[in-house]
Amino acid sequence: MTNSDGTTPPVLFVVGTAGAGKSSLVTSFQRWARFLEIDALTINLDPGAERVHYDPEFDVRDLISLAEVMDRYDLGPNGAQILAADLVAAQADEIMDELEGLSGDMLIIDTPGQVELFAFREASNHLVDVLGQGRAALAFLFDPMLSQTPSGFVSQMLLSNIVQFRLGLPTANYLSKADLLEPEILEKILEWGERLDVLEADLYEESQNRLTRDTATAQRVEFAIAQLRTMQDASIIPGLVPLSSEHEEGLADVLSFVQNIFGGMADMRDGFASDLDEERN
Ligand SMILES: Nc1nc2c(ncn2[C@@H]2O[C@H](COP(=O)(O)OP(=O)(O)O)[C@@H](O)[C@H]2O)c(=O)[nH]1
Ligand SMILES: [Mg+2]
């Protein structure tokens, strides 16, 4: 697969919990990019997708049918999803062959509904290596409904950290479906993304307001606060960008995030985050 200038185009994996808005982002991004005459090629890696509203160059459902996997291996839907994820990853090279000869400005990849199927399985690392071609990045979508409380936000943030840790790709965090949030809540969540000290204080307050205040709860909060402090010490800031596939908001940031990978930085993985932070500040 090549760019118009003959180089390998960047590859963006869209990752997040089930229902976070991954497929919608791929759809709206492809449509939006077309208006800018940017050719964003797409891939669907979710064998469980019922319908796909974008126009994929490769659709994993052509390779693997969940119903068939359930049938052939005598599995329930969850077992079939897990096996299908491994079967897909095992065919990474075949998928690459299908992309041979295509040309486009970037590749945006929709991932399986459940984040753990994609990020936590060993086989996925191989898939990311093969499809990513050394030019891959990750967009992690925070679910807006799961991000409204301090503990919910922290959970999404830790999940994003784990996915980054697993896949080792430069990552940008997005607050998905921002159009669904009341302005005050939206503002609060964005503040948590920038100010982990504020998040820490709000998390503590939330735990104080809980009806059950047992030792286990206190320990969990202490654990979460320790994580937040470690992140602050390491200058790791989630830095959420609001996104709405519905209103086509935040898509320009997704594009510039991907384009920045070509900024000629010597060490993409280290240099990237700080560069992006500077840009956003
Ligand atoms: N209001 C609103 N709804 C959205 C947006 N993005 C996705 N949704 C809805 O959220 C649900 C899940 O979206 P989907 O893209 O399938 O999530 P996925 O499981 O992560 O692929 C669908 O009902 C979408 O219509 C958005 O930007 N705004
Ligand atoms: Mg989906």
Distance 117 CA to ligand 2 centre (A): 13
Ligand 1: centre distance to CA 174 (Å): 13
Listed range (123-137, 139-153, 241-255, 259-273) with the worst mean pLDDT: 259-273
Q: In this predicted structure, what is the pLDDT of residue 254?
A: 97
Q: What is the mean pLDDT of residues 134-139?
A: 94
Which residue's alpha carbon is nearest to atom 10 within ligand 1? 21
One-letter amino acid identity for 186? L
Does pLDDT of 268 surpass 80? no
Instruction: Kindly tell me if the per-residue pLDDT of 8 is higher than 70.
Output: yes
- All domains in the chain, ordered by first residue: 11-183+238-274 (3.40.50.300)
pLDDT above 70: residue 273: no
Q: Within 13 Å and on the Cβ side, how many CA atoms surround 132?
A: 21
pLDDT confidence band for 262 (50 / 70 / 90): low
In the predicted model, what is the mean pLDDT of residues 166-188? 97
Say yes or no to pLDDT of 280 above 70: no
Question: Is the CA virtual torsion 82, 63, 53, 11 positive or negative?
Answer: positive
Query: Phi and psi for 59 in degrees, rounded to 5?
Result: -125, 120
Best residue among 22, 24, 251 to mutate for probing ligand 1, ranked by most atoms within 8 Å of CB: 24
Interatomic CA distance for residues 69 and 117, integer angstroms: 16
Ligand 1: residues with CB < 6 A are 16, 18-24, 113, 177, 179-180, 244-246
Higher pLDDT, 175 or 77: 175
**Higher local confidence (pLDDT), 33 or 207:** 33
Q: What is the pLDDT of residue 263?
A: 54
Q: Which secondary-structure segment (H or E) carries 42?
A: strand 40-44
Closest CA relative to residue 89, chosen from 106, 73, 111 = 111
Residue with tokens 């077309």: 34
Instruction: Report the distance separating Cα 156 and Cα 17, nearest Å.
Output: 9
Nearest residue by C-alpha to atom 14 in ligand 1: 21
Ligand 2 centroid from CA 247, angstroms? 18
- Looking from the CA of 145 toward its CB, the CA atoms found within 13 Å total 5
Residue 44, classed as helix, strand or coil, is: strand
pTM, 2 dp: 0.91
Indicate whether 199 pLDDT > 90.
Answer: yes
Residues 56-76 pLDDT 10s:
999 999 988 899 999 999 999
Check whether 265 has a pLDDT greater than 50. Answer: no
Contacts of 131 (CB under 8 A, 6+ apart): 11, 43, 92, 95, 96, 107, 109
Instruction: Quote the CA–CA distance of 275 and 281 in Å, as a whole number.
Output: 10
Minimum mean pLDDT range among 16-25, 111-120, 232-241, 258-267? 258-267
